[in-house]
């Protein structure tokens, strides 16, 4: 598998400085090993601590059941499901799998092609609720969203994106990404469905997220 790698930057939160990162246009075995060996132990330990502290279930990380190896295997070889990841300091910082076969629902774009984000996840140490004091790197989610917009544009979809959000991420997609919240989707576990129009994509990119 050939992987295209682009240069990018993340913010090292503790140092307050930009650090070099890479955007890969594939999730490879290397990322899955990082997920198994580095992400999962941190996540498991955090969830156990939360449970021991009596934190209610609804507040536990909602993506904790995601199995990236199974997802990667399920979509392996599928032309409609490209994947992306962010690497920094030799470690996988975020992963994303998209789908090219979805249609827009928002009235102004209804029926037009978009890039649907099947899964997008940040490494546990970069998530605010995981890190004991502060996230290690900021900007991973935005970098993956930019990659999705760029891919949408390359495909002629003009930056249109769609996704179903876990409840803990609704605010981020709505406020930070400026996507339109089309409300709960009864056909998809009542998760909120969000879309980004070409104009919203332009705004997101212009903000320099």
Partner 1 sequence: MAAAKKTMTLNLTDAEMGALEELCVKKDLSKTAVLRQALRLYQTVETRVGRGAKLFFEDDQTKEKAEVMML
Residue 202 in the binding site for partner 1 (CB under 8 A): no
State whether residue 33 is helix, strand or coil: helix
The footprint of partner 1 on this chain (CB under 8 A) covers a number of residues equal to 19
According to DSSP, the β-strands at 113-122 and 161-165 are parallel
Contacts of 148 (CB under 8 A, 6+ apart): 84, 96, 98, 115, 117, 161
Contacts of 191 (CB under 8 A, 6+ apart): 164, 165, 166, 167, 184, 185
Task: Select the residue interacting with partner 1 from 15, 52, 58, 79 (CB under 8 A).
Answer: 79
Give the nearest distance from C-beta 92 to partner 1 in angstroms: 17
DSSP single-letter state for residue 39: I
CA pair distance 37, 8, nearest whole angstrom: 25
**Beta carbon nearer to partner 1, 24 or 130:** 24
Give the nearest distance from C-beta 25 to partner 1 in angstroms: 5
Task: Select the residue interacting with partner 1 from 12, 118, 150, 181 (CB under 8 A).
Answer: 150
Residue 106 in the binding site for partner 1 (CB under 8 A): no
Task: Select the residue interacting with partner 1 from 86, 95, 147, 191 (CB under 8 A).
Answer: 147
List residues binding partner 1 (CB under 8 A).
2, 4-6, 23, 25, 78-80, 100-101, 112-113, 147, 150, 154-157
């Amino acid at each position: 598998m050939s992987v295209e790698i682009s240069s990018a930057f993340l913010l090292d939160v503790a140092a307050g400085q930009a650090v070099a990162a890479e955007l890969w246009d594939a999730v490879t075995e290397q990322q899955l090993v990082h997920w198994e060996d580095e992400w999962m132990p941190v996540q498991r330990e955090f969830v156990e601590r939360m449970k021991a502290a009596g934190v209610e279930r609804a507040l536990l990380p909602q993506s904790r059941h995601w199995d990236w190896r199974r997802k990667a295997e399920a979509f392996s070889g599928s032309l409609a499901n490209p994947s992306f990841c962010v690497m920094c300091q030799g470690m996988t910082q975020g992963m994303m799998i998209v789908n090219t076969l979805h249609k827009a629902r928002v009235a102004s774009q209804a029926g037009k092609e978009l890039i649907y984000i099947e899964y997008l996840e940040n490494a546990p140490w970069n998530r605010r609720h995981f890190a004991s004091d502060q996230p290690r790197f900021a900007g991973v989610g935005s970098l993956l969203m930019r990659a999705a917009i760029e891919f949408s544009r390359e495909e002629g979809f003009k930056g249109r994106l769609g996704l179903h959000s876990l409840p803990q991420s609704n605010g981020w997609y709505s406020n930070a990404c400026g996507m339109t919240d089309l409300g709960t989707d009864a056909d998809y576990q009542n998760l909120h469905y969000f879309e980004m129009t070409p104009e919203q994509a332009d705004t997101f990119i212009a903000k320099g997220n």
